[in-house]
């Protein structure tokens, strides 16, 4: 996907920044819809050999290597397991203190920045505050509230809203039915994620069962309780259950079932606190009807 299509407004803003040569030294990109693609495109602009009014050509050697994440002066940090460890950040000390291999400039790109260990975050803070070389830092996160305030205050925070209509159109072009594409676009943060979910063997069956569950919520408490086992059989692990709640929230919103919607938000919080999936769904049913 082209970043100009994914985030046209932000693409325009950053194009102006590049033309004016006013790129900041540190950014926090909040939201995953196109944030990585934007960071890569801006990295191309930093290293490109054939800039046109500040815009990267996309064809020269540095541009091609940046896209492949193989350029020597592009340093990509991702979590090891569920955490970005302190040692990973400390290894960047040389990046912040010396010039690059191919030129003077370097880029540090950290994905899932909210997963930094507190010591790692503090180590990065010191490097951002006192860089000894020409380094641009891109921090990418889905939850900026989990980023240290001291880091946020030293970066430019850019929010990446989800372009739902664009994502839905792409999904339909991939052959996904409109109703399914609409739900996937609402609940997924990228085309890749949406396509991956749509291709899972449980998705079509699970969606139909959730639609039936919503239908029963409108009519019969007893039948709805009996139907819970159908959902637990299909959504039998944490990843599927997470997706089930996302889809259920969208279905309830479409049907304008506000009471059930509020109870489902509570149920999600219960589930994240390790309450059983079936018990959380039962809470939605009994709590609504008892009130």
Domain-located, residue 188: no
CA distance 188 to 243: 9
pLDDT of 208-218, one tens digit each? 999 999 999 98
The answer on pLDDT for 67 being more than 90 is yes
Q: Quick one: 44 and 152 in the same domain?
A: yes
Domain-located, residue 195: no
The structure tokens listed for 288 are 């609504």
Domain-located, residue 124: yes
Q: Quick one: 30 and 157 in the same domain?
A: yes
Domain-located, residue 113: yes
Backbone φ and ψ of 112, nearest 5°: 50, 50
The answer on pLDDT for 220 being more than 80 is no
- End of a domain among 96, 131, 161? 161
In the chain, the number of structural domains is 2
Domain-located, residue 184: no
The structure tokens listed for 150 are 């001291």
The answer on pLDDT for 289 being more than 60 is no
Please say whether the beta carbons of 120 and 126 come within 8 A.
no
Q: Quick one: 138 and 213 in the same domain?
A: no
Of 51 and 179, the structure prediction assigns the larger pLDDT to: 51
Q: Quick one: 244 and 137 in the same domain?
A: no
Q: Quick one: 228 and 136 in the same domain?
A: no
Give the model's pLDDT for residue 84.
Answer: 94
Please say whether the beta carbons of 154 and 125 come within 8 A.
yes
Domain-located, residue 145: yes
- End of a domain among 114, 146, 161? 161
Q: What is the DSSP letter of 83?
A: B
Which of 69, 58, 80 has its CA nearest to residue 108?
A: 69
Task: Give 220-238 as a DSSP string.
Answer: -HHHHHHHHHHHHHHS-SH
Mean pLDDT of the chain: 90
Q: Quick one: 223 and 88 in the same domain?
A: no
Q: Quick one: 95 and 239 in the same domain?
A: no
* Residue 1 banded pLDDT, cuts 50, 70, 90: low
List the CATH number of the domain containing 157: 3.40.50.300
Q: Quick one: 137 and 15 in the same domain?
A: yes
Instruction: Answer yes or no: pTM beyond 0.85.
Output: no
Q: Quick one: 94 and 230 in the same domain?
A: no
Collapsing DSSP to helix, strand or coil, 58 comes out as coil
- End of a domain among 106, 130, 161? 161
The answer on pLDDT for 88 being more than 50 is yes
Domain-located, residue 285: yes
Q: Quick one: 75 and 122 in the same domain?
A: yes
Look up the domain containing 90 and give its range: 3-161
Backbone φ and ψ of 165, nearest 5°: -65, -45
Domain-located, residue 156: yes
Q: Quick one: 146 and 230 in the same domain?
A: no
Please say whether the beta carbons of 154 and 168 come within 8 A.
no
Q: What is the mean pLDDT of residues 28-36?
A: 90
Give the model's pLDDT for residue 234.
Answer: 94
Contacts of 14 (CB under 8 A, 6+ apart): 38, 41, 42
Give the model's pLDDT for residue 48.
Answer: 97
* Residue 103 banded pLDDT, cuts 50, 70, 90: confident
pLDDT of 143-177, one tens digit each? 788 898 999 999 999 999 888 888 899 889 989 98
Contacts of 56 (CB under 8 A, 6+ apart): 41, 44, 45, 48, 50, 63
């Amino acid at each position: 996907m082209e970043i100009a299509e994914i985030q046209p407004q932000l693409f325009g803003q950053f194009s102006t920044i590049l033309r004016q040569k006013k790129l900041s030294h540190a950014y926090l990109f909040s939201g995953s819809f196109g944030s990585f693609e934007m960071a890569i495109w801006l990295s191309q602009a930093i290293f490109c050999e054939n800039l046109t009014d500040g815009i990267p050509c996309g064809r020269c050697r540095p541009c091609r290597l940046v896209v492949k994440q193989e350029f020597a002066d592009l340093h990509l940090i991702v979590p090891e397991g569920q955490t970005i460890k302190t040692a990973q950040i400390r290894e960047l000390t040389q990046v912040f203190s010396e010039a690059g291999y191919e030129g003077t400039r370097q880029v540090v790109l950290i994905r899932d920045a909210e997963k930094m260990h507190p010591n790692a975050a503090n180590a990065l803070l010191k490097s951002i505050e006192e860089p000894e070389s020409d380094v641009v830092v891109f921090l990418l996160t889905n939850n900026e509230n989990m980023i240290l305030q001291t880091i946020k205050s030293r970066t430019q925070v850019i929010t990446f809203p989800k372009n739902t209509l664009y994502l839905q159109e792409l999904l339909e072009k991939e052959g996904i039915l409109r109703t399914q594409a609409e739900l996937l676009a609402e609940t997924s943060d990228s085309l890749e994620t949406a396509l991956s979910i749509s291709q899972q063997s449980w998705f079509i069956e699970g969606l139909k069962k959730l639609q039936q569950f919503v239908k029963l919520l409108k009519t019969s408490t007893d039948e709805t309780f009996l139907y819970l086992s159908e959902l637990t059989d299909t959504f039998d692990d944490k990843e599927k259950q997470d997706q089930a709640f996302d889809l259920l929230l969208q279905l309830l919103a479409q049907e304008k079932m506000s009471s059930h919607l509020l109870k489902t938000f509570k149920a999600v919080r219960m589930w994240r606190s390790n309450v059983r999936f079936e018990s959380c769904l039962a809470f939605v049913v009994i709590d609504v009807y008892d009130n």
